[in-house]
Amino acid sequence: MEEENKQGSEETASQGGSRRNFVRDIIDEDLKTGRYNTVHTRFPPEPNGYLHIGHAKSICLNFGTAKDYQGLCNLRFDDTNPTKEDVEYVESIQEDVRWLGFDWGDRMYYASDYFDKLYEYAVALIRKGKAYVDDLNADQIREHRGTLTEPGKDSPYRNRSIDENLDLFERMRKGEFPDGSKTLRAKIDMSSPNINMRDPVMYRILHATHHRTGDKWCVYPMYDWAHGQSDSMEGITHSICTLEFEDHRPLYNWFVDQLGIFRPRQIEFARLNLTYTVMSKRRLLQLVHEGHVRGWDDPRMPTISGLRRRGYTPESVRLFADRIGVSKADSVIDVSVLEDCLRADLNKRARRVMAVLHPIRVVIENYPDGQVEELEAVNNPEDESMGTRKIPFSKVLYIEQDDFREDPPKKYFRLSPGAEVRLRYAYIIKCVGVVKDPQTGLITELRCTYDPDTKSGSPASQRKVKGTIHWVSAEHAVDAEARVYDRLFNVPDPGGENWKSSLNPDSLEIVKGCRLEPGLAKAKPQDRFQFERLGYYCVDDESTEGHLVFNRTVTLRDTWAKIESK
Ligand code: ATP
Ligand code: MG
């Protein structure tokens, strides 16, 4: 293994706006020694699925680092695999990167932009005697490759003449040979201790239509051949990728050195893993295709589009990327770290409102019929500039079923027969009766009285009670559906072959008939609120004025951690 990049120091204290990390240390060193005089990175997704939170880490690292060094970051689609790629993915990826707050300017590229150039480079390597056409099939190539402890064996076709190789490669391109019958391989060293250096395949024959180049090509470059040259052509100084490519670095360097073209520096970091989540695109695709979720953007998915629909903000995702930092060591981050970043952001920006998810009717017996008072409520105690609003109070209200107990346990400070509670922004009420359905015995209504001297904020309101609950005025309330999400998996590490057996069957609860304060009637998709005492909610993309739908973004505090620490 080469010596470069070995200085990977661990994360150090935050400096200025962005945290120091070993990637920045390497960049600083390169700028100091003059190896490069600018910073140019790229984010290189393969358009074969939607982006997930792991990609978000890579996006923040690539775009964020470039930005901090006044450099540039390209968006490049690694579209070398025509059978798995789709324009739907190309579009969703652009939307997600933009939503995260990053901009590639006019530098959106595709590996397929370089198919001609890559072909020329391959011919140049053949001319140097550094690449050859092999007739072995995929299985035979694997058998010849050797193992970690045994060297590989040369292919019988390894010593073809340069002219023969040029002729065969040209005919491969023209479509004279069937899929899989030949490959172009680099001629390096079949006994190299690094298996990636044992004559890796550069081109395969594939008669497939490409989403951009159509039927122009029937030979397609392998990722390992396309990637480094694409970086080099774009003048990428720092090619940041995940750890599994560490062993490929000598190969990428070998290619650019043989071709005598610009050499980027590859820096590897540990990929993000999250508890209670699967992140491989193959598995996410399965969840979608087998109907375990409602689509790529299902709010339970770890995809960026899922997080967005769930109510995550770009700021919270960037904060998360910043908090977890980058390192060389594989680790699993607890999903609560992500949720905490979200709470931290929403706490500052989400408007507080009152919403009753499981309503029970309350009649205030001594409140005048037909009277409506407009009470003043604070929009966000964390941010005075968000102001106040008026909410209507009247004789018939709804409160949460949970906020009443006929037979209360000790230290239950909410409503129960004979007990008093404060209605937020309103009055102290007392429960004086319970109405039940004669057939089912279920409680249908609570009869209460209010104390007119206890109006919130009024000078006379000196009396204190222990509990405060939320409510809405029945006559004014708007109806809504709430989608209450829980984790998609019920084990921290849903890995292995049986990963689908740990899908949480209760990850979505649909609650209909929720009653909300009237100001929410015109809430639009993506509007975010804190439903007081319940959690953060955001308006779903499917919501309309006639049928409001809210997604629970996150609970107010980490109820899970609390349960688990007991
Ligand atoms: P998957 O394994 O989920 O299919 P991938 O690595 O094949 O992902 P790409 O589209 O090739 O997906 O990824 C684009 C970029 O995002 C790459 O540079 C890759 O290193 C990075 N990336 C992918 N997954 C993660 C992750 N979990 N954490 C950090 N970076 C990631
Ligand atoms: Mg990849």
549 three-state secondary structure: strand
Q: Is 281 a catalytic residue?
A: yes
Residue appearing with tokens 């949480």? 504
Q: Is residue 296 part of a domain?
A: no
What is the pairing mode between strands 535-539 and 528-531? antiparallel
- The answer as to whether 13 is a domain residue is yes
Point out the ligand 1 atom lying closest to the alpha carbon of residue 272. Answer: 28
Q: Residue 12 C-alpha to ligand 2 middle, in angstroms?
A: 29
Q: Is residue 372 part of a domain?
A: yes
The pLDDT assigned to 562 comes to: 44
- Predicted confidence at residue 457, as pLDDT, reads 85
Say if 184 falls within a structural domain.
Answer: yes
**59 within ligand 1 shell (Cβ under 6 A):** no
Query: Is residue 234 annotated as a catalytic residue, yes or no?
Result: no
The span from the CA of 197 to the CA of 5, in Å, is 19
d(CA 205, CA 138): 11
- Hey, which of 46, 242, 277, 324 would you mutate to test ligand 1's pocket, going by the most ligand atoms within 8 Å of its Cβ? 242
Per-residue pLDDT of the chain (566 residues; tens, 9 = 90+): 444 444 433 333 333 346 789 999 999 999 999 999 999 999 999 999 999 999 999 999 999 999 999 999 999 999 999 988 889 999 999 999 999 999 999 999 999 999 999 999 999 999 999 999 999 999 999 999 999 999 999 999 999 999 999 999 999 999 999 999 999 999 999 999 999 999 999 999 999 999 999 999 999 999 999 999 999 999 999 999 999 999 999 999 999 999 999 999 999 999 999 999 999 999 999 999 999 999 999 999 999 999 999 999 999 999 999 999 999 998 899 999 999 999 999 999 999 999 999 999 999 999 999 999 999 999 999 999 999 999 999 999 999 999 999 999 999 999 999 999 999 999 999 999 999 999 999 999 999 999 999 999 887 777 889 999 999 999 999 999 999 999 999 999 998 899 999 999 999 999 999 999 999 999 999 999 999 999 999 999 999 988 999 999 999 985 544 443 33
- Taking CA atoms only, the protein residue closest to ligand 1 atom 18 is 241
Q: What is the DSSP string of 378-419?
A: ES-TT-GGG-EEEEEE-SEEEEEGGGB-SSPPTT--SB-TT-
Same domain, 94 and 156: no
pLDDT confidence of residue 6: 42
> How far from 144 is each of 32, 133, 205, CA to CA, in Å?
45, 15, 20
Whether residue 208 sits in one domain with residue 151: yes
Q: Is there an atom of ligand 1 within 6 Å of 331 CB?
A: no
Pair (97, 141) in one structural domain: no
Report yes or no on 345 lying in a domain.
no
pLDDT, position 263: 98
Burial of 368 (0-12, 13-18, 19+ CB in 10 A): exposed
Answer yes or no: is 322 within a domain: no
Token pair for 113: 């932009």
Are 231 and 217 contained in the same domain? no
Task: Assign residue 198 the CATH number of its domain.
Answer: 3.90.800.10
In contact, 303 and 51? CB cutoff 8 Å: yes
Ligand 2 centroid from CA 251, angstroms: 17
Q: Are residues 203 and 122 in the same domain?
A: yes
Coil vs helix vs strand at 350? coil
Residue ending a domain, choose from 450, 476, 502: 476
| pLDDT at res. 113 | 97
Q: Helices (H) and strands (E) in the chain — how many of each?
A: 13, 29
- Answer yes or no: do 399 and 448 share one domain: yes
Residue in 20, 158, 271, 533 annotated catalytic: 271
3-state secondary structure of 117: helix
**160 is a domain residue:** yes
Which pLDDT does position 1 carry in this prediction? 41
Distance of CA 406 to the CA centre of its chain: 44
Q: Do residues 249 and 259 share a domain?
A: yes
Rounded Cα distance, 64 and 67, in Å: 5
| pLDDT confidence of residue 558 | 59
Dump strand ranges (E) for 51-130: 72-77, 108-110
Q: Is the C-beta atom of 241 inside 6 A of ligand 1?
A: yes
- Residue 54 Cβ < 6 Å to ligand 1: yes
Q: Among this protein's residues, is 522 annotated catalytic?
A: no
Radius of gyration of the chain (CA): 31
First to last CA, the chain: 48
| Final residue in a domain of this structure, among 445, 476, 507 | 476
Say yes or no: CB of residue 280 within 6 Å of ligand 1.
yes
**Is there a single domain that holds both residue 178 and residue 265?**
no
Ligand 1 atom with the shortest distance to the CA of 279: 3
Q: What is the pLDDT of residue 85?
A: 81
Q: Could you tell me the CATH number of the domain that includes residue 80?
A: 3.40.50.620
Query: Which CATH number characterizes residue 422's domain?
Result: 2.40.240.10
Q: Which of 43, 51, 53, 58 to mutate to test the pocket of ligand 1 (most atoms within 8 A of CB)?
A: 58
CA–CA gap between residue 303 and residue 295 (Å, rounded): 10
For residue 45 and ligand 1, the question of a CB distance below 6 A is answered with: yes
Cα 395 to Cα 104: distance, rounded to the nearest angstrom: 57
Structural tokens at position 359? 């309503």
Instruction: Give domain status of residue 282, yes or no.
Output: no
76 with 142, same domain?
Answer: no
Bridge partners (DSSP) listed for residue 423: 469
Q: Which atom of ligand 1 is nearest to the CA of 59?
A: 16
Task: Check pocket membership of 248 for ligand 1, CB cut-off 6 A.
Answer: no
Taking the centre of ligand 2 as the mean of its atom positions, its distance from the CA of residue 45, in whole angstroms, is 7
Q: Would the CB of 271 count as within 6 Å of ligand 1?
A: yes
- The pLDDT of residue 152 is 97
Taking residue 444's Cβ as centre, other Cβ atoms within 10 Å add up to 12
Instruction: Give the chain's domain count.
Output: 3
Q: Which of 270, 287, 306 is the last residue of a domain?
A: 270
Domain ranges, residue 190: 114-221
Judgement on whether residues 95 and 240 belong to the same structural domain of the protein? yes
> In this structure, are 7 and 36 located in the same domain?
yes
Task: Catalytic residue, from 19, 76, 173, 281: name it.
Answer: 281
Same domain? For 195 and 160 the reply is yes
